[in-house]
Structure 1
């Protein structure tokens, strides 16, 4: 027995030492890819000395003699901190993820190949102006300089993730940056998917669309009226201004397409007498964040703000004279066209002039540990042909037809990159507006502020549709009919713009901005009907604003949807009957209603009310639509406030949704509300215990800044995923979009990865923050250092003063030209 024990002890000790050795070795190799921010380099392809000064937040302040050297250094810094992220983004746009990740990404690769974002990016190079081409080339040289240093000096392959994959790191090309910008356009729109889902619902019943997919009511909100003209008091719900009767109404987007907040106040609405601007674009959370903070010292002056690694431009930020913020415009920039195939030759399709042969090209998708796939790419006059296996197209495509996608981002002469580069150097709102003419995709509402005024203008090419287009772009249309085809683009002057309005405030929460007839309508499908209500109220509660009031609005967690919906669904349940016996479902329901009766709609992470409300309305919508829609109900993953309100106000008889079709009895809306609340409370009790007062919204609403690859690996996910209890929700200005599906439907998966507030009364008091940290390296102290501040609603300074950057420098990297030796 003693001998056996000794051998077990030896084996255990050996395994322990082996494990420690493996971990130590892994740490050693991973740590080699951590950049030393005080290391100097002598490099080709630069003209003079460059300094990359990193402040305490690890924001690089880049100083060079020429713009080319500055863009070179930005590429160098991006590669130092985010090389893995850049490689994955590039492979996504190229449709080459499967070379690294195997079969699980083959479908994504196929879709990207059909869009040909990489090929279109290469074509777009010829359309860029000389300054932009020079910037792209200099940026690429900077990225490649770091890749060469990694290879020559054995710096851990540049990122710890690259140890898991043996694929060669290809050098960066100028077209790669344009391809990533086009990938952002893909992520910022979902109009085609909205068309498809709307068509699927219409195949079941057009009557249901009147309620479930109502048009957004009202004239649109972008420029607010003068403060003095407001009527005190709370306005009637924006969601129920008037009855909505159009059966072809647009679908509230069920996927996480682009979203954001941006607003600005002119000097006469500012307490300090200078323009103010706030911006927080929303994308899916990840670790590291999509965004990367940087300051560039260009020949035209300093510019600071948020970049996306791989793109050599400050996409939202400010220079000394102009600040700009971006928000998804929700412009209808996509259409699905159904192409009829020739029965005698399926390689030909119908056009207004007769049958025509598809443009065909074969491509091979290499797949790790599997046989390659050969895909035939087909294009019609209307765009790339998408197979029925993508985006549920097979459910709405007739026999002997295929679906083609028209999309503004597929323009081979896309000059968006040139516009982004020039916007950084604009000196006024007027210059910024003029630059927007060359912006193609993604469609963005660009909010601007300079020393004298403010404006909001939609950037992006708007398709020129025929007035007689079938379905007006809301539903897939027949591709061979002339009236359904795009006729180029509308002139830039047609884009909505709001310049120095009399009220002094402009802004956008992805809400409807204009109420114009088709085809100048911009969109039938908007991203917000709720946040705009809260924003309007906060902006007009005070005559003048400050940096602090803009920050407070950015961090506001009151849900206007909750304030509207809760009194409707609980109207006949509050304060009814005697207290039920303790421990019964009835008593649990009564206690939950008592708590909700005192709630003001604040989605605070420390409260139980937001969790009860969110679970209740989720269960309520499921009960309302499940029996009518069947499996299609699963496509509606998030609560649709307009639908709930219409049902409980019984607008146009919408209360009929409350009656269960398969039931012999007739259920009222009160019955459904009560049963849904019981469903929600049972589920919450099983998960969080029977004590309602101990429940916390933050326990369910955790922000999921997860590493897209290592975050799925056991043990490693403890180190690379950043999880935080957060406030906010689907319809708060501090947006924390819930997952909507899966075992944790209330996880916070999409929100403000970047926040910035710029004050032109005191520009150096401007502030910004990102949701993780600057570094993409899990071993870096800058991997998650900013996430703590982000969660607490704190910011870091946004200064263009070089002395301030140097005074707080945590590292200075000097790049010297080889010729200087």
Structure 2
């Protein structure tokens, strides 16, 4: 009889018998649900399925946000929630277990357990309202629940998601990956090592943490309007993919924008009076300390004494089959400087900006409720969001760029770009620099601001830039440039009267600046010894990825090879090899070196298969793709949620938006699975129906969740 059973089933039965594999629900901790409350919410779906959530109070709105998002993408929301419980591995296997390990390593749940009851009451009510909306959906749709005992969730679970994910937007994954992967952390290189094994998928893809933003003041615009363009580059699917929504509370909370799965409010967009967007910044917020351990490896030397490591045993559930998991034991440790990772080179403590706090939850909420720059600035001064640029505009014509970061306090005389001794307090200072020391650029003389993941010292054009000498090198402000940043400054700086049409052309620009790093890269590729036929084709390129030239596809692949090292701060690769690799790919899959770009670069979702323009590190950003079996490059990351915002001379707000697919990206049966795709591919947008009156004649359905 045993001979007829698959070996995997026999092995599973043996492991269960000896207790190594358990039924996953046995490992799950039952969580207390939020207090019972009757929420007063209404969801109105417009013609594109975008939810407009109305509530008597803000927690009522948060309840509707949770329910509406679950209708559109419950599977992704559950993965985010499983991560907050340390149970992602029970859904996705070993990859999820890596994320669970990082959650424990950073002490995210411990942080929330310590800080949650100290949060303002209105913030906690908002979190509980959102969690209750998710619980209600799970209660009504038990067949869609992926993991037993995942529900109910509560406000603490929601808060953990913020604490766990925030540091990965500025590069913590690089350092942890290097340490976990035994990449040498020599004294001359303690910075992020993006070539190291991935240790967590909860943040953005480290290969291209991008975004573009453009702001125009009335004095620079053709019609006296104030304009802001949000063009945050995120994955098109998954836990950090944008979800569009509009919210209205009876308390005066009105906001249109986008959020991530697991967030109880919009994270960017606009209200009546002001708006903002974000782009990834990459300041040096990470300090690495090498510890001296005792023989038992349970204590470390610090200021001539031995301190015990804070050590905790955790169990990582790794899904094997069905509800059966393999519980893997791991030990996490902390020193005074932060979490500790040990490898063959020793034990290292990592200090990172914004650690061990959950103020970002309140900060984002206060930002959405701000009615003036003064209120918005007070919310920013909470300093809970550990890193990301904020670009701002409002109805008064004020524009601003904040190079936001939780800069660690650092002591003069030490080089924090290198591995530091961990046995002394002389090189360690707890806390964050005050808000007054964070670089800000408000109302520059040029009348415009941009950021495309470039240094904040290139933001406003000639004569209006911040002076690097005014800022301490201990802050670790980045000096990176991108082609997108260089090109945006060229285009904005050359236009003395920027109209709405001008701004749209700039946002969708597909060109490479010959003055950028990419310009030098292409010049070197053209001069390299190697594939003569490929060099001839590249020589015909017009420096533009608009899809009309014969060399666009080859150039896009060559630029992608360059961006792999440039954006990730890795050693420069050989441009001749990059050209040869790109040419070989086109020959293999297309039998030619000059296929049309739109034949190669595609938008694919369900039955939709559309040509795209743009490419890596251009303003029409298409930096990451999957190589399909037919050789086509199916874009998965880049231009995602795009929003054009404007305030006219009377201070009245106007906005338009677009997404690559639609409001419901994981439900193929939904009419909104791909209904924005053709507009997106054609550089077109749809109106944002911000005011309730705008919805008249455009409502698909209205219901109470």
Give your verdict on TM over 0.5: yes
- The corresponding residue for 2:676 is 786
Q: Which residue of structure 1 aligns with residue 21 of structure 2?
A: none
In structure 1, C-alpha distance between the alignment counterparts of 2:551 and 2:62, rounded to whole Å: 49
Change (3 A) 1:300 1:536: same
Say which SS state the counterpart of residue 68 (structure 1) adopts. helix
SS, match of residue 342 in structure 1: coil
**Greater shift in the superposed pair: 535-544 or 488-497:** 535-544
After TM superposition, list the pairs within 5 Å mapping 1:532-681 onto structure 2.
532-560=485-513, 561-571=517-527, 589-590=532-533, 592-605=534-547, 607-616=549-558, 637-638=564-565, 673=576, 677=579, 680-681=582-583
| 1:311 and 2:263 are equivalent in the alignment | yes
TM-score norm. by structure 2 comes to 0.82
Does the 8 Å CA contact 1:738/1:745 hold for their aligned counterparts? no
Quote the offset at 1:277 in angstroms.
0.4
Structure scoring higher RCO (CA < 8 A, sep ≥ 6) equals 1
CA 1:572/1:448 → structure 2, altered by over 3 Å: closer, same or farther? Answer: closer
Describe the superposition over 1:56-94 as per-residue Cα deviations: whole angstroms up to 9, x where unpaired: 111111222222222222222122222221110122233
Structure in which a larger fraction of residues adopt helix: 1
For 2:622, the equivalent position in structure 1 comes to 736
Contact 2:541–2:549 (CA under 8 A) maintained in structure 1: no
Matched, 1:758 2:702: no
Map Cα deviations across residues 118-173 of structure 1 (whole Å, 9 max, x no partner).
3323333234222211211222222222222224xxxxx2x4xx4xx463441121
> Deviations for 1:15-37, whole angstroms, at most 9, x for unmatched residues?
xxxxxxxxxxxxxxxxxxxxxxx
Cα distance change of structure 1 residues 441 and 405 upon mapping to structure 2, 3 Å threshold: farther
Larger Rg: 1
1:558 to 1:182, Cα distance in 2 relative to 1, 3 A: farther
Specify which of 86, 108, 120 is matched with residue 111 of structure 2: 120
Asked if 1:530 corresponds to 2:522, the answer is: no
Q: In the alignment, is residue 480 of structure 1 matched against residue 435 of structure 2? A: no
SS at match of 1:464: coil
Q: 1:546 to 1:618 in 2, by over 3 A?
A: closer
Tell me the equivalent position of 1:22: none
1:221 maps to none
1:378–1:166 distance in 2 versus 1, CA, 3 Å: closer
- Superposition pairs of residues 407-446 of structure 1, within 5 angstroms: 407-412=352-357, 414-446=358-390
Query: Post-superposition shift, 1:570?
Result: 2.5
Secondary structure of 2:449's counterpart equals strand
The answer to whether residue 161 in structure 2 is matched with residue 185 in structure 1 is no
Q: Describe the superposition over 1:90-131 as per-residue Cα deviations: whole angstroms up to 9, x where unpaired.
A: 222333112223345333322222123233233332342222
CA contact (8 A) 2:292 2:300 kept: yes
How many Å separate the matches in 2 of 1:251 and 1:103? 23
Which whole-Å deviations, capped at 9, do the CAs of 1:364-392 have from their partners, x for residues lacking one? 2233334311222211111112243xxxx
**Is 2:281 aligned against 1:329?**
yes
1:282 to 2:233 alignment: yes
Query: Aligned residue for 1:689?
Result: 591
What TM-score, normalized to structure 1? 0.71
Q: Deviations over 1:571-609 (max 9, x none)?
A: 588xxxxxxxxxxx97xx35x445433433112345441
- 8 Å Cα contact 1:729/1:736 also seen in 2: yes
Q: Which residue of 2 aligns with 1:71?
A: 62
Instruction: Report the CA distance shift for 1:356/1:169 in structure 2 as closer, same or farther (over 3 A).
Output: closer
- Work out the CA distance in 1 between the residues paired with 2:190 and 2:333: 31
User: As a proportion of its length, which structure holds more strand?
Assistant: 2
Q: Which residue of 1 aligns with 2:121?
A: 130
Change (3 A) 1:540 1:424: same
SS at match of 1:74: helix
Q: Give CA-to-partner distance per residue, 1:413-451, whole Å, 9 cap, x none.
A: x21111111111111223212210113234121111112
Change (3 A) 1:57 1:248: same
Query: Helix, strand or coil: the match of 1:286?
Result: coil
**Deviation of 1:807 (Å):** 2.0
Counterpart of 2:83 (choices 84, 92, 102) is: 92
1:547–1:757 CA contact under 8 A, matched in 2: no
Write out aligned runs for 1:353-432 (5 A).
353-369=304-320, 370-388=325-343, 394=344, 398=345, 401-412=346-357, 414-432=358-376
> Measured at CA, do residues 787 and 116 of structure 1 come closer, stay the same or move farther in structure 2, by a change above 3 Å?
farther
- Matches of residues 104-183 of structure 1 in structure 2 within 5 Å? 104-151=95-142, 157=143, 159=144, 162=145, 165=146, 167-183=148-164
Residue aligned with 2:116, SS:
helix
Instruction: For 1:128 and 1:496, locate their aligned partners in 2 and report how far apart those are by CA, in whole Å.
Output: 27
- Indicate conservation of the 8 Å contact 1:94/1:117, yes or no: no
Stretches of structure 1 lacking an aligned partner (at least 5 in a row): 1-42, 152-156, 207-246, 389-393, 574-584, 622-635, 648-656, 659-671, 706-717, 816-821
CA 1:483/1:434 → structure 2, altered by over 3 Å: closer, same or farther?
same
The alpha-carbon distance between structure 1 residues 92 and 814, as it changes in their structure 2 partners (threshold 3 A), is closer
Secondary structure (helix, strand or coil) at the match of 2:123 reads helix
- Call closer, same or farther: CA 1:699–1:250 in 2, change over 3 Å: farther
Tell me if structure 1 keeps the 8 A contact 2:604–2:610: yes
Q: Is the 8 A contact 1:563 1:600 kept in 2?
A: no
* Alpha-carbon distance between aligned partners in 1 of 2:180 and 2:61, rounded to the nearest angstrom: 49
Match of 2:406 in 1: 461
